[in-house]
Structure 1
Amino acid sequence: MTLRQYLTSKSFFKQLLLAFGIIIVLVFLILQWLSYATDHGNEITVPDLRKLTEQQAEEKLDELNLGYVLLDTVDYNKDFPKYTVVQQDPLPGAKVKDGRKIYIKVNSADFGMVTIPDLIEKTLRQAEPSLVALGLEIGKKTYKPYLGKDMVLEMYADGKKLKPGDKVKKASKIDLVLGDGKVGFEEETDSIKNTDTETAE
Structure 2
Amino acid sequence: MRKFWAYLKTRQFRANLLLAIGTVVVILMIAFFSLSFYTRHGTGIPVPQLKGMQVEKAMSMLKEQGFDYKIDSVYVLDQPPGSVVEQDPDPGTNVKENRTIYLTVVTRQAPPVSMPDLEPYTYREAVATLANYGLKVGDTTYKSDIARDRILEMRFGGQEIKAGTKIPKGSRIDLVLGNGEGASEVEIPDLVNQDLDAAKFVIKQGGLTVGTITYQGTITDSTSLVVVAQSPIRTDSLSKASNGTRINLTVSQGKKSDVPNQ
TM-score, normalised to structure 2, is 0.48
User: Structure 2: how far apart are the matches of 1:144 and 1:63?
Assistant: 61
Higher-RCO chain (CA-CA 8 Å, sequence separation at least 6): 1
One-letter identity of the residue aligned with 2:184? E
Matched, 1:46 2:47: yes
Q: Which residue of 2 aligns with 1:97?
A: 95
Q: How many residues are matched?
A: 147
Deviations 1:20-49 (A, max 9, x none): xxxxxxxxxxxxx8x978733x33221234
User: Structure 2: how far apart are the matches of 1:171 and 1:156?
Assistant: 14
Change over 3 Å in CA distance of 1:122–1:51 after alignment to 2: same
Deviations 1:145-178 (A, max 9, x none): 2222211000111211111111222222111001
1:181-192 equivalent positions in 2, closer than 5 A: 181-183=180-182, 187=184
User: Structure 2: how far apart are the matches of 1:108 and 1:158?
Assistant: 22
One-letter identity of the residue aligned with 2:128? P
- The answer to whether the Cα contact below 8 Å between 2:137 and 2:174 also exists between their aligned partners in 1 is yes
- The answer to whether the Cα contact below 8 Å between 1:157 and 1:173 also exists between their aligned partners in 2 is yes
5+ residue gaps, structure 1: 1-32, 189-201
Give RMSD over aligned pairs: 2.9
Q: Specify the SS of the correspondent of 2:70.
A: strand
1:63 Cα offset (Å) = 3.9
Matched, 1:74 2:77: no
More helix by percentage: 1
User: Structure 2: how far apart are the matches of 1:78 and 1:121?
Assistant: 28
- Which 4+ stretches in 1 moved above 4 angstroms? 35-38, 56-59, 76-79
Q: Specify the SS of the correspondent of 1:132.
A: helix
1:122 Cα offset (Å) = 1.2
Deviations 1:44-91 (A, max 9, x none): 2212343123xx645533443433333x21116675454x64431233
Identity %: 37
One-letter identity of the residue aligned with 2:165? D
More strand by percentage: 2
Q: Specify the SS of the correspondent of 2:154.
A: strand
One-letter identity of the residue aligned with 1:88? Q
TM-score, normalised to structure 1, is 0.60
Q: Which residue of 2 aligns with 1:64?
A: 65
One-letter identity of the residue aligned with 1:73? S
- The answer to whether the Cα contact below 8 Å between 1:142 and 1:176 also exists between their aligned partners in 2 is yes
1:111 Cα offset (Å) = 1.8
- The answer to whether the Cα contact below 8 Å between 1:51 and 1:86 also exists between their aligned partners in 2 is no
User: Structure 2: how far apart are the matches of 1:119 and 1:166?
Assistant: 13
